[in-house]
Chain A
Amino acid sequence: MSFIEVTDLCKDYRIAKQEKGIAGAVKSLFHREYTVKEAVRNVSFSLEKGEVVGYIGPNGAGKSTTIKMLSGVLLPTSGVAKVGDIIPYENRKENAKRIGVVFGQRSQLYWDLPISDTFDLYESLYSVPKERFRKNCDFYTELLDMKDFLHQPVRQLSLGQKMKANIAIALLHDPEVLYLDEPTIGLDVTSKKVLRDALKSINAQRNTTIILTTHDMDDIEAVCQRLIMIDQGQKLFDGTLEDFRSKYNDGFTVKLEFDTVPPPWQESGEYELLEGDERHWLIKSRTEMTAKAAMIDLIGKYDPTNLYVQEERIEDIVRRAYALDEVGC
């Protein structure tokens, strides 16, 4: 019996069709058609205590919906989710005590009050012992560098500052599980690094189970040992980061920039021209060639002014992974 057990989880949304224009709006007053969107389809996985899992997929894949069911906010249409013997959506309050959640695009803070007030509220909401609460407060204020804005009203804080506060709040009661839904949105590079290090050390020290959704592959690489990928509500991949790389991530892209009109593109088996206009080319390597070899080769062939090597974005990987699986079956 694993710590988190998800079996055949499904969630459907009913969406009212809206026709265009005023005539359509009037029509929908009398008769409305619905379409059913399957946000999550038969997703199953299990996690052990202390695992750190990256949950990835393109926009609208069903990541947040899964997390909302795991945190007890949404009821699944069918299937079961269990977090440490509790069914979250049946025991919302029980479950809430043991988890910490950050939704990257939402805030749990009191808009008109300083962060410290929200901290107070959470202290009593979770009945955290005073001493431990103080310690955690100091610890996270220090860790996330929040001292300067702890006493400013939240409405006057920047996006990144609010994000830090939300992360701290999710952690103040030492949750057993941490759900992070795009926690690095709006953070600068330094803060991202701070957050990743913090997550790693929390996981190491407290054996906190972490599920992290993100669009930033660097987040995953920095903290996750395991990766689950979904698209259109279905699980496509579940395994270690290395497996994922060897299965899907078979290359990198190179961006070339030209000051003058570039020489004509030579079609070859080694590269694929993804996008190209007069000044920019986006090239993907097809072979097992190293980045270094590709750079030297491309500079020799086309003499660009600038050259950047980029890792593939998750969106691209997922798109290709999806195409692969379609072909595969």
Chain B
Amino acid sequence: MEKYWLVFKKSLKSELTYRSAALWGIISATLSFLIQIFLWRALLGTGVRNDTSFPDMLLYVLLNSFISPLTRANVAGMIENAMIDGTISMELLRPISYKGYMFSQTIGKNIYGVVTATVPVMLISLPLLSGAVLPDMVHILLFFMSALLGIALTFEVTYLAGLLAFWLQRCWFIRFYLHGLRSVFGGTMVPIWFYPEILKNLSYFLPFRYMTFEPINIFLMKSSVEQAWISILAAFLWLIGLSLAGKLVWRAAMKKLTVNGG
């Protein structure tokens, strides 16, 4: 375990060397937060639609803007680059699981940006949060469980899709597809409760809603304790299924691997 912790720390430290990148990250995070807030303010007015009040939406956007960037990973891109210049062979020389390495690397890379961007976004939203209902202890615990599973699940999906890089060689588009699927079926843009029935039902059969939507639902106490457990179980099953699939695909990928450039 210690080695993954170290990969995480080193990846974080690498990220810290570029301070201006963090600054621009803060600005863009703040702007996109503001845009969403204004949009929802205009849409909802001060009333309640579909059981959704403005403070609910504020919390929704807030939580989404923490969890999503934390799991933002371009595993396909990382593998693609490593394949193009052949550094994949160096990574495979290390006595460490490639997936674990990728995961620690991803979280280490993202966490700095998330933490720095959190501060201004929090400051902006604090005065607006007065009318929000905060969850009870049970829901908070369930939220953390569900959020952790969501983070793991997001990584698992990105990793599995990223492994396609071994076959495709060039795969910049995978990221866009993943992002699109997450926006639609994961409800990162518009909460799924506003969706038409057919899309709503479809989302239950895909892993994306368990990434951030379900954890946030629990936090907003829109899910009962029973519903929360069901969604946690579903996320857990997805996680197991996908990680088994990941193992198989990885094995096939190793057979397929060629190393470029001597």
Residues of A at under 8 Å CB distance from B? 13, 64, 68, 71-75, 89, 92-94, 96-97, 99, 101, 103, 105-108, 110-113, 117-118, 120-121, 124-127, 153
Given A112-B14, A113-B17, A124-B5, 18 additional A-B pairs, CB 8 A: A68-B89, A74-B257, A75-B257, A94-B95, A96-B95, A97-B95, A101-B93, A106-B89, A106-B90, A107-B90, A111-B14, A112-B17, A112-B18, A118-B10, A121-B7, A121-B10, A125-B6, A125-B94
From B17, B90, B96, B258, give the contact of A103 (CB < 8 A).
B90
Q: Would you give the shortest CB distance from B11 to chain A, in whole angstroms? A: 9
Residues of A within 8 A of B131 (CB): none
Q: In the bound complex, do residue A153 and residue B17 qualify as a contact, i.e. CB atoms below 8 Å apart? A: yes
Q: In the bound complex, do residue B10 and residue A110 qualify as a contact, i.e. CB atoms below 8 Å apart? A: yes
Residues of B within 8 A of A64 (CB): 262
Residues of B within 8 A of A13 (CB): 258
From A68, A75, A101, A124, give the contact of B3 (CB < 8 A).
A124
Q: In the bound complex, do residue A73 and residue B93 qualify as a contact, i.e. CB atoms below 8 Å apart? A: yes
Per the 8 Å Cβ criterion, residues 230-262 of B in contact with A are: 254-255, 257-259, 261-262
- The 3 A-B pairs at the shortest CB distance, nearest first, are namely A96-B95, A112-B14, A124-B6
Number of interface residues of B (CB under 8 A): 28
Q: Would you give the shortest CB distance from B119 to chain A, in whole angstroms? A: 24
Most A CB contacts (10 A, CB to CB) among B88, B92, B255 go to B92
18 sample A-B contacts, Cβ–Cβ < 8 Å, listed by A number: A73-B93, A74-B259, A75-B257, A93-B96, A96-B95, A103-B90, A105-B261, A106-B90, A107-B90, A108-B90, A110-B14, A111-B14, A117-B10, A117-B13, A118-B10, A125-B96, A127-B3, A153-B17
Per the 8 Å Cβ criterion, residues 124-151 of B in contact with A are: none
Task: Given A93-B95, A96-B94, A121-B6, verify A103-B89 contact (CB < 8 Å).
Answer: yes
B86 lies within 8 A of chain A by Cβ: yes
B97 lies within 8 A of chain A by Cβ: yes
Task: Given A105-B262, A106-B87, A112-B14, verify A73-B6 contact (CB < 8 Å).
Answer: no
Residue of A nearest to B256 (CB): A75
Residue of B nearest to A93 (CB): B95
Task: Given A13-B258, A74-B257, verify A120-B96 contact (CB < 8 Å).
Answer: no
Most A CB contacts (10 A, CB to CB) among B3, B86, B258, B262 go to B262
Q: Would you give the shortest CB distance from B88 to chain A, in whole angstroms? A: 8
Per the 8 Å Cβ criterion, residues 64-115 of B in contact with A are: 86-90, 92-97
